[in-house]
């Protein structure tokens, strides 16, 4: 099937990887269904697609909500009549020590990164089966392979995404449905800001290179895609020298701790400055 004949759903399309993949697909002219919670940000993606004369359907919705998941499926079928590719990209990241992490934050990570992904996939599979096949692409994380303790819950959710993908791959292959897992390292997606990490000194790769790889993956399914490619070598090296894993994870954990501390100090200084300004105005 050519890209032009495909209907592709992309969740979390308002920013980061989801937006980058949506825009990277422009030259191939598929039918796109872009989904996100933030209407203002989704509008920005929609405007880019509109300029390029792409046939697309924007849907404002929260994948954690059952009614919104139904809306995504129903509106897609009403508009395009089929679902060929589902890119489960919507997700959040939060850096926190487990003893300090609020239960609400834990619930949010599990609901968004795992339960919503599983439930939307479950609703999509029968439609793909009826249509003779399809491709499910689940966005996990390199932390699924190399978990780091300030991201304990996040790493666990992304490991769950990989395991879920591995399991259903065997279940749905006879229906003509492929299942791929993308395990990206650090990319310039705005993830750090949301996760509560200062962005200045953290290693980040160009998200456009990742989006191009995902576009190729749509046509040529592969079980697991680790990006950037140098991280594949890192995993192989860790298998050869197991103690290296501890060294790397501790180094990353310390770096994240420094960045989080930097953000807290910056925020504290900002608040103190605001207090000083208020005090000055009242005297």
Write down the H helix ranges in 52-178. Answer: 66-80, 103-110, 116-130, 152-172
User: 178 pairs with which residues across the strands?
Assistant: 135
Burial (CB count <10 Å: 0-12, 13-18, 19+), residue 47: exposed
**How far is the CA of 61 from the CAs of 39, 122, 281, in angstroms?**
9, 18, 44
Q: What is the DSSP letter of 143?
A: G
CA angle 13, 230, 211 (to 5 degrees): 20
Start-to-end CA distance of the chain, whole Å, equals 72
CA angle 209, 213, 215 (to 5 degrees): 115
- Residue 130 φ then ψ, to 5°: -65, -35
Q: How many CB atoms lie within 10 A of CB 65?
A: 13
Give the tokens for residue 14. 């308002």
Whether 154 is catalytic: yes
- Active-site residue, from 3, 28, 149, 154: 154
Helix (H) / strand (E) element for 275: namely: helix 243-281
Phi then psi dihedrals of residue 268, to 5 deg: -65, -40
Residues labelled catalytic: 154
């Amino acid at each position: 099937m050519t890209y032009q004949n495909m209907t592709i759903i992309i969740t979390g399309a308002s920013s980061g990887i989801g937006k980058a993949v949506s825009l990277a697909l422009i030259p191939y002219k598929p039918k796109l269904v872009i989904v996100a919670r933030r209407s203002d940000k989704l509008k920005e993606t929609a405007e880019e697609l509109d300029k390029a004369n792409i046939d697309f359907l924007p849907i404002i919705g929260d994948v954690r909500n059952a009614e919104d998941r139904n809306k995504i499926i129903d509106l897609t079928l009403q508009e395009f009549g089929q679902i060929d590719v589902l890119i489960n990209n919507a997700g959040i990241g939060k850096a926190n020590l487990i003893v300090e992490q609020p239960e609400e934050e834990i619930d949010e990570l599990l609901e968004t990164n795992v339960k919503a992904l599983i439930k939307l996939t479950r609703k999509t599979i029968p439609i793909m089966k009826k249509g003779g096949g399809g491709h499910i692409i689940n966005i996990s994380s390199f932390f699924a392979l190399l978990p780091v303790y300030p991201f304990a819950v996040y790493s666990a959710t992304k490991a769950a995404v990989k395991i879920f993908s591995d399991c259903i791959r065997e279940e749905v292959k006879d229906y003509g449905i492929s299942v791929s897992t993308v395990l990206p390292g650090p990319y310039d997606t705005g993830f750090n800001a949301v996760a509560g990490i200062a962005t200045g000194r953290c290693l980040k790769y160009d998200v456009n290179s990742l989006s191009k790889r995902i576009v190729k993956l749509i046509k040529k399914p592969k079980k697991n895609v680790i990006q950037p490619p140098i991280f594949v070598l890192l995993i192989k090296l860790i298998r050869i020298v197991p103690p290296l894993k501890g060294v790397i994870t501790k180094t990353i954990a310390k770096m994240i701790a420094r960045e989080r501390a930097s953000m807290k100090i910056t925020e504290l200084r900002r608040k103190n400055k605001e207090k000083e300004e208020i005090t000055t105005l009242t005297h």
